[in-house]
A and B are shown apart, each in its own frame.
Chain A
Amino acid sequence: DADVTQTPRNRITKTGKRIMLECSQTKGHDRMYWYRQDPGLGLRLIYYSFDVKDINKGEISDGYSVSRQAQAKFSLSLESAIPNQTALYFCATSVGVGTGGLVDTQYFGPGTRLTVL
């Protein structure tokens, strides 16, 4: 979905390095999410944010941190990357409650492929 962009699209880094993945959206959505995708495991939620002042841990937040710089921007950081963080990372957005048929539909960015050597 072109309304949700992620940078970089690909990144190779070394163990111990700090990495930041960025997500921007023009959909005007309040809610943003970070997932990782591993083969055979589907997508797992890392962090989510309901608005600029709200940050929540997902099911696999250890080793990650996030920053919601603005309604449209949500960054994911790996403080000290390790090889088992090699994965495909997706940002997603959703509009939030009280919006009828649009409730609950998440829209995904194109993903960032991260390799930690």
Chain B
Amino acid sequence: AQSVAQPEDQVNVAEGNPLTVKCTYSVSGNPYLFWYVQYPNRGLQFLLKYITGDNLVKGSYGFEAEFNKSQTSFHLKKPSALVSDSALYFCAVRPRGSGGYNKLIFGAGTRLAVHP
């Protein structure tokens, strides 16, 4: 079965330190990969996506993500965390060739807590 795993329910990091939120997937072929962020009482906001090309993708708010095909991973990173980055982060995958059906498979989410 196709799935997306976010192995950490919560990640704690001190402000100013680098952060990593992990994501691995089990989807055949070369899927499209996404990260979304959810702030309290808000909908999901698109952060970045990987379609093809350079394995390091840059997105909004200083976030970036690294695609690793051999490890089927798409980890979200930021060089210096801010308290305002505290939120719930979702990794999502769309299988290619899904007949135009824009099906996103979501991970369970990782809560990022950045401490002053």
Contact = CB atoms under 8 A, between A and B. Distances in A.
A13 to B, nearest CB: 20
B102 interface: yes
A38 to B, nearest CB: 9
A78 B79 CA distance: 44
Contacts of A20: none
Interface residues of A, number: 26
A40 B88 CA distance: 11
A45 B103 contact: yes
Main secondary structure of the interface of A (DSSP, over half): strand
Contacts of B42: 110-111
Contacts, number: 57
A90 B100 contact: no
Interface residues of B, number: 25
Interface of A: 1, 4, 31, 33, 40-45, 48, 50, 56, 90, 92, 94, 97, 101, 104-111
29 contacts: A33-B102, A40-B9, A40-B108, A40-B109, A42-B90, A42-B108, A42-B109, A43-B90, A44-B106, A45-B104, A48-B101, A50-B100, A90-B43, A90-B44, A92-B44, A101-B51, A104-B34, A104-B51, A105-B34, A105-B46, A106-B102, A106-B104, A107-B46, A108-B43, A108-B44, A108-B45, A109-B43, A110-B43, A111-B41
